[in-house]
A and B are shown apart, each in its own frame.
Chain A
Amino acid sequence: GDSVTQMEGPVTLSEEAFLTINCTYTATGYPSLFWYVQYPGEGLQLLLKATKADDKGSNKGFEATYRKETTSFHLEKGSVQVSDSAVYFCALSHLSYSGAGSYQLTFGKGTKLSVIP
C-alpha cells in the first residue's frame, strides 16, 4: 500500500537558517503530494501541494518539487522565522475508484520544527 516517510525530528534551527525536510513516498500510479502544517494546539492547514511530476508547490516562502524519479517531495525554505515553528506533515492521496469520489490522505509521521531567535 501507499506510504510516506519523512525525516525524523525534532529539527531546531536559528532564525534565517535554511530549512529542508525530506519526504519520500511509495505509491502506485500518480498520487498528488501535499505538505500540511500544524501549529501548536491547532488542526492541519494545507501549506502547499503538487499534483503531477515536476510540479513545484509554493506558499509563504516554502517550496517543494514533485520528483517522480526519486519519489520525493522535499520541503524547503530559504530563511525560516520563529513563526514557522510547527509540525510539518508530508502526505499523498489518490482518488479511489469506488465511484463515490472519495479519497484519503496517507500521512508521514510529521517533523517538528523549532526556530529559535
Chain B
Amino acid sequence: DIVMTQSPDSLAVSLGERATINCKSSQSVLYTSDNRNYLAWYQQRPGQPPKLLIYWASTRESGVPDRFSGSGSGTDFTLTISSLQAEDVAVYYCQQYYSTPPALTFGGGTKVEIK
C-alpha cells in the first residue's frame, strides 16, 4: 500500500496568518496517462465528519473558500491556508486514490489551532 506521511502533527497559527501542511507519499501518485495527481485533502472540524476540500492535488471542491490551496506533484504535496480564520480550526488529512485497490490511504492528520 502507498503510505501517506503528513507533517507537522499539529500547528498553531495566528488569525490571518498562513498555515502550511505537508503530505508525502511513499510512491508517486501522478498518473502519467492523464497527468493528474491522485491526491485529495479533507477537513474535519471538531465533532464533524470529514469534508472534501481539494482533489487532483489542487482543485478546490465547490464552495471551498479560495484561501485554501493545494500544490505539489508526484510524492510531495502541500495544503496552504493563506489567512487562517477561526472556522478553519480542524484536523486536515491528505488521501491518495492512485493505488486502489487494495486501498485508499490517508495521512495521519494535522491538527490546526489558533495561536
Q: Are these two chains actual partners, yes or no? A: no
Q: Which residues of B does A touch, CB under 8 Å?
A: none
Q: Which residues of A does B touch, CB under 8 Å?
A: none
